Chain A
Amino acid sequence: MVREGGVARLSLSGCDAIDCANAAAVKAEALRLLGDVADVVIDLSCVEYLDSAGVGVLVGLFKNARLRGGRARFCGLTPGVRSVLEIIQLDRIFEIYDDVETAVRS
C-alpha cells in the first residue's frame, strides 16, 4: 500500500482471484494495511475472478471507508471483475475509475 497525500493506494496484487478460499484472509490483510485510512483507491488490475465471497470483500472495504468518513474508489477492473459487478449492479453503487491516477484525482 502507498499513501499519497490523504489518499492511500491499495493494490490487490498477488491474488488473481478472490474467492471463498482466500476472501477472509484478503479482507483481513487489506483492513490491517489500511488501518485508520479513510480515503483509498483500490487497484483491482491483477484480479481476474471474483465469486460472491470476493465481492463481499469489496463491499466490506467500501463500507469500511464510509464508516471512517472517507471514500473507497476502485480502478483497473479486469473484464471478469467488471462483469460480476455489472451483474449485481455494484458498478452503479461503487465509485469505479479506469486507472489509479484518475481515481486519485477524482
Chain B
Amino acid sequence: MPKSKLKREAAGNAGETLPDLAELCRIHEIGLDLIERSHDVDELLDRVLDEYESRLKDLPSDALDARSTAPHPASLGKLRGLVMFATQAAALKEKAIVAGELKRRAAMLEAANSRLDGVLAALSSGVMIFSAQGAFLTANVAARELAGAADDTALANLIAHGVPRGGEAEIDVPIAGGGRRTLLVARRAMTGDAGSEVVLVTDVTERNRAVEERVRLEKLAEALKTLSVLSHKINNPLTALLGRAQILQAHKTNDPGVVKAAAVIEEASLRIADLIRELAQVVKDGRQGAVDELLDMSAATPPTTSRR
C-alpha cells in the first residue's frame, strides 16, 4: 500500500470506524496520565515508551507494513488507536522539553537571585531596589538597620521623599538608642532594567565627624604656624627693648620719671617675654587646649598702659 494511503488510513477518514469506545476511554486515560508526568521529560518518556512497546506488540504486522496491500480493518483500528496515543505523547514530550528548559532557567535565575541576596546581605552598605513604577521591591539587612525604619514601607517613604530620582542627598535619621545618624543616599538607574533603581545607603556620620576633625586640625596647624612666626618676630625687638630698659635703670639718674618709665618698660617686656615663651611651648606641644587657654589668659591680662 502506498505510504500516502497508509498515512490517510492511519489518520482515519471521515465516516470510517474509530477505535471502539473502550479504547477511546483508555487513550483518554493514558493522555491524562501523560499530562501528570509531563513535568519531567524522563518520567514522561518512560511511560510513553512502555505504552509504545505494548501497543506495537499488540499491533498486527500488516498494519504498518508498506508492502501489505490491504491491511485488515481491525489492524487499522489498532493503528488509529496507536496514532491517537502517539499524537498526544509527541505533543506532551515537546511541551515537557520546553517546561524542563523553563524550569532549568528558573532554577538558574533562582540561584543567581540567591547569590545576589547573599552578596547584598554581606554588604555593610545598605542596598535597596525600586521597580520602574517606583515601588519598593527589596532591601538588604544593612539598609534596614541603617535607616532604622520600622518596616519596608517606612524605609521606602524615607528614601522616596528624602532623595530625588537619580540624585543623592544626606538625610538624618534617629538612632534607636538615642541620637541621630547621617545617611548618604544615592539613587541610581539599574542597568538593563529600564526605570528600575538601585538605592545605595551609606552611614556617613563618622565620615562627617572625621571631616570636621580634619578641618579643626588644619585650623589648629595654621594657628600654631602663625604663633610660631609671631613669637619669633616679636622676640628679637623685645630683647633689644628689654636690654635698653635695663641700661636706663643702670644709669645713675635723679629723674624719678625716667626711673619709673624704665621699670615699666622692663616689667612689660618681661611679661611679653613670658608670653612668648608660653607661645613657644604651645607651638611645641601643638595642643588646641593650650591655644585656647593662652588666648583666654591673654584676654584676661590687663594692658600694660593701664598699669602706669
Binding site for B on A (CB under 8 A): 19-20, 49-53, 55-56, 59-60, 62-63, 66, 79-80, 83-84, 86-90, 92-93
Find chain B residues with CB under 8 A from A20 CB: 61
Q: Pull 29 A–B residue pairs with CB atoms less than 8 Å apart, ordered by A.
A: A19-B61, A49-B65, A49-B66, A50-B64, A51-B61, A52-B56, A52-B57, A52-B60, A53-B61, A56-B56, A56-B57, A59-B49, A59-B52, A63-B49, A80-B66, A83-B6, A87-B7, A88-B10, A88-B79, A88-B82, A89-B83, A89-B86, A89-B87, A89-B89, A89-B90, A90-B52, A92-B93, A93-B49, A93-B89
Which residues of A lie under 8 Å from residue B48 when comparing CB positions?
A: 93
B53 at the interface (CB under 8 A from A): yes
Decide: B93 and A93 in contact? CB cutoff 8 A: yes
Decide if A56 touches B90 in the complex (CB within 8 Å): no
Q: How far is the CB of A2 from chain B (nearest CB, A)?
A: 26
Interface residues on B, range: 20 to 34
Q: Give A88 to B7 CA distance when docked, in angstroms.
A: 9
Indicate if the CB atoms of A52 and B64 lie closer than 8 Å.
Answer: yes
Other than the given A83-B3, A88-B82, A93-B93, 19 more pairs (CB < 8 A) read A51-B61, A51-B63, A52-B57, A52-B63, A53-B56, A53-B61, A55-B56, A55-B64, A56-B57, A59-B53, A63-B53, A79-B3, A83-B7, A86-B7, A88-B64, A88-B79, A93-B45, A93-B48, A93-B90
Contact A62 B49 (CB under 8 A): yes
Measured CB to CB, the nearest residue on chain A to B83 is: A88
Contact of B66 among A59, A63, A83 (CB under 8 A): A83
Contacting pair A49 B67 (CB below 8 A) = yes
Within 8 A of A (CB), among B113-162: none
Q: Which residues of B contact A (CB under 8 A)?
A: 3, 6-7, 10, 42, 45-46, 48-49, 52-53, 56-57, 59-67, 79, 82-83, 86-87, 89-90, 93-94
Give min CB distance, A9 to chain B, whole Å: 22
Residue of A nearest to B4 (CB): A83
Inside 8 A of B56's CB, which chain A residues have their CB? 52-53, 55-56, 59
* Bound complex: CA A87 to CA B66 (Å): 11
Q: How far is the CB of B294 from chain A (nearest CB, A)?
A: 89
* Secondary structure type dominating chain B contacts: helix
* Inter-chain contacts of A52 with B (CB < 8 A): 56-57, 59-61, 63-65
Closest to B53 in A: A59
Given the known A-B contacts A56-B57, A92-B90, A92-B94, are A87 and B65 also in contact in the complex, defined by CB atoms under 8 Å?
no
- Write the chain B residue with the least CB distance to A54: B64
Q: Which residues of A contact B3 (CB under 8 A)?
A: 79-80, 83
Of A51, A62, A63, A93, which one neighbours B64 at CB under 8 angstroms? Answer: A51
Q: Which residues of A contact B59 (CB under 8 A)?
A: 52
Distance, CA A59 to CA B86, complexed state (A): 13
A60 touches B53 (CB 8 A): yes
Query: Which A residues touch B61, using CB under 8 A?
Result: 19-20, 51-53
Q: Which residues of A contact B10 (CB under 8 A)?
A: 87-88
- The chain A residue sitting closest to B63, CB to CB, is A52
User: Which A residues touch B6, using CB under 8 A?
Assistant: 83, 87
Give Cα distance in the complex from A59 to B59, angstroms: 14
Report B43 CB to chain A, min CB distance, Å. Answer: 11
A90–B45 CA distance with the chains assembled, in angstroms: 11
A51: which B residues are within 8 A, CB to CB?
61-65
CA–CA, A10 to B53, complex, Å?
21
Neighbouring B residues of A90 by C-beta, 8 Å: 52, 86
- Name the residue of chain A whose CB is nearest to the CB of B6: A87
Min CB distance A13 to B, Å, is 20
CB-defined contacts of A19 to chain B, threshold 8 Å: 61, 65
* Minimum CB–CB distance for B82 against chain A, Å: 6
Please name the residue on chain B nearest to A23 by beta carbon.
B61
Q: What chain B residues lie within 8 Å of A49 (beta carbons)?
A: 65-67
A101 to B94, CA, bound (A): 25
